[in-house]
Structure 1
Amino acid sequence: MIETQETFNFTTMPLVSGILLLIFGTFIFIFAIWRRNERRKLTGISEFTCSDRMVNTKGTEKILRFLAVLLLISGFILITFEALRIEGKVMNEVTAS
């Protein structure tokens, strides 16, 4: 394999963006699950006694989970395509030499 700067420097902007999307998506997903579990505890039951607030809370948790899954999938796709692009560049350099 030809040793170029591209083979040693894998930190490109799409890769960093994909990693950040994965991190934020994971944190949002964990927060949504934590919030649901806190709501189901005995102290959470007394906090969410009003049925109107319960509907809004469930909707908010559903939106948070959807946003987290969307961020996780887009981060994974971004990292995958960037890795394939870098691999394609390296393979083209090897075959061109």
Structure 2
Amino acid sequence: MFAGVESAKKAGETDERLHNVVAWRETPFFTDEERAALALTEAATRIQDGAPGVTDEIWDAAADHFDEKQLSAIILEIAMTNFFNRINRTIREQAGKTW
């Protein structure tokens, strides 16, 4: 099991929400605040498919829910996750297997 999933479960996160993060737009399980963070994460992460990145609309939605310190923490978490994902991809390591 991935360390992030283990930590989330220890913090009381449900399987239902964890299994539906991939469909966060289509499910009723996430708050507006969580949706803003997920949209920011997705926009910051999608590079290869030509997605526009973090638009003003996405940034403004996140800034409506989070202060500067919280946004900084979210951005750092996004960056660290993407950093490790790219290392894993480069060395062909299955994500979550050894980290």
TM (norm. structure 1) is 0.33
TM-score, normalising length from structure 2? 0.33
Q: Over alpha carbons, which structure has the higher Rg?
A: 1
Tell which has more relative contact order, 1 or 2 (C-alpha 8 A, sep 6+). 1
Per residue, is there more helix in 1 or in 2? Answer: 1
